Structure 1
Amino acid sequence: MTKNTTINYREKIEHSHVYDVAKITPLEFQPNLSARINNRVLLKREDMQPVFSFKLRGAYNKMASLPTDTLKRGVIAASAGNHAQGVAMSAQKLGCRAVIVMPTTTPLIKINAVKARGAEVILFGDSYSDAYVKALELEKSEQLTFVHPYDDPDVIAGQGTIALEILNAHPEPIEAIFCCVGGGGLLAGIAAYVKAVRPEIKIIGVEAKDAEAMTESLKQGKRVMLDQVGLFADGAAVKQVGEHTFALSQQYVDEMIVVDNDAICAAIKDVFEDTRSILEPAGALATAGLKEYAKRNNLSGKTLVGIASGANMNFDRLRFIAERAEVGEKREAVLAVTIPEKPGAFKTFCRLLGDRNITEFNYRYSDPKEAHIFVGVAIADPNESANLVADLIAQGLPALDLTDNEVAKLHLRHLVGGHAPQAENEVVFRFEFPEKPGALMKFLDTMGHDWNISLFHYRNHGADFGRVLVGMQVPPNEQTEFAEFLQNLGYPHWDETHNPAYKLFLG
């Protein structure tokens, strides 16, 4: 018996204190998305809360339940985003002190939003983990109460009020409810209530491909700690789920779905087309998972509910999302095509494309015999991409489908035409740098070697981290030192030396 079985979550949810600050958000029909996937899609608009996120519910429910003398001493939280704003607004309503520890990498827009609610902001460390440790220190030294972002029964119950509202708004049959998952508070709260009231409704958790802590934990039957997490869906980038949330998910969650960044971008566009609202990446996870579930199970005519969990979007990130949405929706194929460097070859290539719309075209002369072209083509469905590649190859034009190649889509499309045969012993790595002053110098100082940097590409995407592609000339007898450098650096990294797109355009 787990600790959660002693808690009546249905009762806690039905008696939660959330509506002093939170509002009952609409459950909206999505006509365009519903028509496209042939199911009835309803979106629970938590992006319409006063802080543009569901996090307000759990934070306030926890704080409102504290004894008066405890509340007077104040609360503390560690967060870089939505939870911070929820705690700050709750403290403002309850008239108590709130201290929020945020990583130094937190964008200024988020820091200012928290300060505007009257909270004290302390910047500490490079990551949420650093901020969390600092918050626990201050909790003891200043006798504050820590408000956990997800692993607390009162926080879980506050998030569970969303389920109560969904079932009140839609008493008719529902096939499944989809929730984004970071630490698991939203998923656990909704699952606990729905399974107590309408157990026939499936509860599906959705995680980003590079941050699937709950998926792995449920597979292994224990909480696992991920070595690193991708930060695109930063609102759900958690290395380890909570004890309470994991136990509840084991009891009540029917399935987990993992989606990639392109699918998230496509979901943001889907919601925009129906609502004219722009969700943050974590806020669109449920919609991305809903689409994947319907496709995977060949569903038709069912009612599917997704939680639009947040809309605290950095404006600069929109460029990246717009670039990737069509690929995520399988409406664009990204190809590398080799054609003879002779008159008429380009015309032959274009004729083979037919009346398809060209979305991107990159080419630079580099060889007297053949030309490598990076091209984006609008397609109607994924099968069309494979057929197009086959047609090109049949006509003697070697073609490679790069639609799922992260390096190609993120970096090489901006670097096409840069062959460097003189760059001997080149290794190519993709890194995620903290988006803060000094990150590059740390890279160079840690390198501490005379390895020549032969390629470097960085592009700001309005995130808390930067995506960087680096080529370095590392002699074979120095591979051990290079491995030590990567370990000491501590930045997430991926070896792309043998990536076919790199070989074709830059190797």
Structure 2
Amino acid sequence: MPQSYIKKILDARVYDVAIVTPVDEARLLSKRLNNNILLKREDLQPVFSFKLRGAYNKMMHLTEEERAKGVVAASAGNHAQGLALSALKLGVKATIVMPKTTPQIKVDAVRSRGGKVVLHGDTYDEASGYAKKLVEEKGMVYVHPYDDPEVIAGQGTVGMEILRQVTGPLDAVFVPVGGGGLAAGVAAYIKYVRPEVKVIAVEPEDAACLKVAMEKQRRVTLKEVGLFADGVAVAQIGKETFRVLRKTIDGVMTANTDEICAAIKDIFDDTRSIAEPAGALALAGLKKYIEENGCEGQTLLAIDSGANTNFDRLRYISERTEIGEQREAILSVTIPERPGSFKKFCAALGKRNITEFNYRFGSAREAQIFVGVSVASGGDGRSELVEALQALDYPVVDMTDNEMAKLHIRHMVGGHRPEAVISELLYRFEFPERPGALMNFLTKLGNRWNISLFHYRNHGAAYGRVLVGLQAAPEERKDIEVFLDKLAYPYHEESDNPAYQLFLS
């Protein structure tokens, strides 16, 4: 039962390496949302993440004989750094298997703390498989990143600190979820000590393994997992963590990429710190909870779980922030191709600010523009703008929620298909961000289909976003998909996407 974790959490050995992190009031956000918003600052830990707690507590429960064998783990970053520092503190050899796609900042951080890094595979699952192979071959002790009672207890000290620091009213605590170690530990403690406090788990919309498990009342492995919030990109909730969570949490929420980016900006505005996507996930859920429930005057706390993000990712994050706050609309609008049309269109927008405008001459009769417009915060501002333009007889397509439009089309407007390309099929990919990934694609493609369009943009993430046009007839679609399935890069066909039809086809 979850109650069995209370003594484990109270006895957890974490403070030899971890610190008691503060609970900060998000003053600007509190005023804006008419609630008292608090942030538990786990991004201030020595490894910039809560993961240090669970790793060290697990290490403290190993026997001398087990420590002498050395420890091994698979991790893309935060658990790796926590385990490396814990091993350094205790004089134990630590081997960390990391996917080849791991950002260099995290690889360097593990090495700087004395951990031996082995780069293997493209995904966490491949790295984990190799780590377990090392356990069999060399007798090392495997330290799981979340599905271990001692790791869960170590993470549970976050919940213990929250209740010691917030002694007054506390309506709900929002916890990010990947494998569930932090959420299980926090929920087990809070629901035992103060059962009236709601504990809400928050997952990325494209990696919601707990949400699916709660709905089906059993653990499910997701077929695909989004990688933007890489710290919580887990395909299946842990076995032990799910056993605890299904009895303790009050709900599961999801947040999309734009909402997470907006939460990163909110944390920066109030603390001048930059959370990683997984670190801001709980706040994104908190904001959504307020919007859906109309809360006012409540005390709500979000765990800022980490700050390990590549600097290069900030370009992408800032690009998506305004959309995440529902303060920007991305539209395709058809206007007459004649002098004065742009000026007339701007007048139709009233006092709204244009954030982006892309156009290239296409025909003598009509101009297709790709435009970003500032709108009032909240969903109504966007719909009011679209309705106002349609009332003035402007053909409008709302692309604010169109992933391909935001990732690629906005950077490629004007590149219509030339007459020489009679037929074209369009595909969107996620390429592993490593040398040779593109060459692998081109080599396997061979000379069968000509590439008629190619767009790639590096966002500092583990996977690159790629848009590819293949000069092929519709009847070749099945053959192409057989090739792509063998290639095993995640892909989506976008040939019928209106953004493609309007600006590139």
The TM-score normalised by the length of structure 1 is 0.98
CA displacement, residues 249-302 of structure 1 (integer Å, 9 cap, x when unaligned): 111111111110000000000000000000000100000000001110111100
CA distance in structure 1 between the partners assigned to 2:477 and 2:94 by the alignment: 49
Offset of residue 7 of structure 1 = 6.7
Partner of 2:162: 166
- Which amino acid letter does the alignment assign opposite residue 383 of structure 2? A
Partner of 2:299: 303
Partner of 1:121: 117
- Corresponding position: 1:472 with 2:470: yes
CA distance in structure 1 between the partners assigned to 2:443 and 2:241 by the alignment: 41
2:206 is paired with a residue of what secondary structure?
coil
CA distance in structure 2 between the partners assigned to 1:316 and 1:479 by the alignment: 36
Task: Answer whether contact 2:267 2:273 (CA < 8 A) is retained.
Answer: yes
Partner of 2:203: 207
CA displacement, residues 80-122 of structure 1 (integer Å, 9 cap, x when unaligned): 1000000000001111110001111222221111010011111
- Which amino acid letter does the alignment assign opposite residue 272 of structure 1? F
CA displacement, residues 360-407 of structure 1 (integer Å, 9 cap, x when unaligned): 111111111110111111111331221221222222221111111111
CA distance in structure 1 between the partners assigned to 2:162 and 2:104 by the alignment: 34
Pick from 343, 353, 356: which aligns with 1:360? 356
- Which amino acid letter does the alignment assign opposite residue 430 of structure 1? R
Partner of 2:371: 375
CA displacement, residues 182-231 of structure 1 (integer Å, 9 cap, x when unaligned): 00101111111111111111111111111111111111111100111110
1:315 is paired with a residue of what secondary structure?
coil
CA distance in structure 2 between the partners assigned to 1:27 and 1:291 by the alignment: 18
Offset of residue 76 of structure 1 = 0.4
Partner of 1:407: 404
Partner of 1:79: 75
Partner of 1:249: 245
Partner of 1:416: 413
CA distance in structure 1 between the partners assigned to 2:212 and 2:447 by the alignment: 38
Task: Answer whether contact 2:3 2:188 (CA < 8 A) is retained.
Answer: no
Identity over the aligned pairs, expressed in percent? 57
CA distance in structure 1 between the partners assigned to 2:317 and 2:261 by the alignment: 5
Task: Answer whether contact 1:339 1:345 (CA < 8 A) is retained.
Answer: yes
Partner of 1:150: 146
Partner of 1:491: 489
Partner of 1:324: 320
2:427 is paired with a residue of what secondary structure?
strand
CA distance in structure 2 between the partners assigned to 1:34 and 1:259 by the alignment: 20
Indicate how the Cα distance of structure 1 residues 85 and 37 shifts in structure 2: closer, same or farther if over 3 A, else same.
same
- Which amino acid letter does the alignment assign opposite residue 452 of structure 2? S
Pick from 230, 235, 253: which aligns with 1:239? 235
Pick from 232, 253, 258: which aligns with 2:254? 258
Structure 1 runs of 4+ with >6 Å offset: none
Pick from 9, 16, 26: which aligns with 2:12? 16
My pick for the range that moved more, 142-151 or 449-458, is: 449-458
CA displacement, residues 40-85 of structure 1 (integer Å, 9 cap, x when unaligned): 1000000000000000000000001111111121100001100000
2:334 is paired with a residue of what secondary structure?
strand
- Corresponding position: 1:345 with 2:341: yes
Partner of 1:397: 394
CA distance in structure 2 between the partners assigned to 1:21 and 1:241 by the alignment: 27
CA distance in structure 1 between the partners assigned to 2:247 and 2:385 by the alignment: 47
Offset of residue 476 of structure 1 = 2.8
Task: Answer whether contact 1:177 1:203 (CA < 8 A) is retained.
Answer: yes
Partner of 1:335: 331
- Which amino acid letter does the alignment assign opposite residue 75 of structure 1? V
Offset of residue 473 of structure 1 = 2.2
- Which amino acid letter does the alignment assign opposite residue 471 of structure 2? Q
Task: Answer whether contact 1:446 1:488 (CA < 8 A) is retained.
Answer: no
Pick from 48, 52, 69: which aligns with 1:52? 48
CA distance in structure 1 between the partners assigned to 2:86 and 2:225 by the alignment: 29
CA distance in structure 2 between the partners assigned to 1:482 and 1:334 by the alignment: 31
CA distance in structure 2 between the partners assigned to 1:386 and 1:424 by the alignment: 37
Cα RMSD, aligned residues only: 1.1
My pick for the range that moved more, 234-243 or 372-381, is: 372-381
- Which amino acid letter does the alignment assign opposite residue 93 of structure 1? K
CA distance in structure 2 between the partners assigned to 1:219 and 1:97 by the alignment: 41
Pick from 452, 464, 471: which aligns with 1:454? 452
Q: Give unmatched runs, 5+ long, in structure 2.
A: none
- Which amino acid letter does the alignment assign opposite residue 129 of structure 1? D
CA displacement, residues 28-48 of structure 1 (integer Å, 9 cap, x when unaligned): 100011111111100000000
- Which amino acid letter does the alignment assign opposite residue 174 of structure 2? F
CA distance in structure 1 between the partners assigned to 2:3 and 2:138 by the alignment: 30
Indicate how the Cα distance of structure 1 residues 380 and 42 shifts in structure 2: closer, same or farther if over 3 A, else same.
same
Task: Answer whether contact 2:425 2:473 (CA < 8 A) is retained.
Answer: no
Task: Answer whether contact 2:3 2:192 (CA < 8 A) is retained.
Answer: no
Pick from 379, 384, 389: which aligns with 1:387? 384
Offset of residue 419 of structure 1 = 1.1
- Which amino acid letter does the alignment assign opposite residue 389 of structure 1? V
Offset of residue 6 of structure 1 = 7.9
The TM-score normalised by the length of structure 2 is 0.98
- Which amino acid letter does the alignment assign opposite residue 499 of structure 1? N
CA distance in structure 2 between the partners assigned to 1:345 and 1:8 by the alignment: 70
- Which amino acid letter does the alignment assign opposite residue 300 of structure 1? E
2:401 is paired with a residue of what secondary structure?
coil
CA distance in structure 2 between the partners assigned to 1:91 and 1:202 by the alignment: 35
2:380 is paired with a residue of what secondary structure?
helix
Partner of 2:429: 431
CA distance in structure 2 between the partners assigned to 1:446 and 1:268 by the alignment: 39
Offset of residue 474 of structure 1 = 2.3
1:462 is paired with a residue of what secondary structure?
coil
Q: Give unmatched runs, 5+ long, in structure 1.
A: none
- Which amino acid letter does the alignment assign opposite residue 464 of structure 1? A
Task: Answer whether contact 1:59 1:147 (CA < 8 A) is retained.
Answer: yes
Offset of residue 410 of structure 1 = 0.9
Partner of 1:230: 226
1:388 is paired with a residue of what secondary structure?
helix
Partner of 1:481: 479
CA distance in structure 1 between the partners assigned to 2:334 and 2:484 by the alignment: 35
Partner of 1:177: 173
1:210 is paired with a residue of what secondary structure?
helix
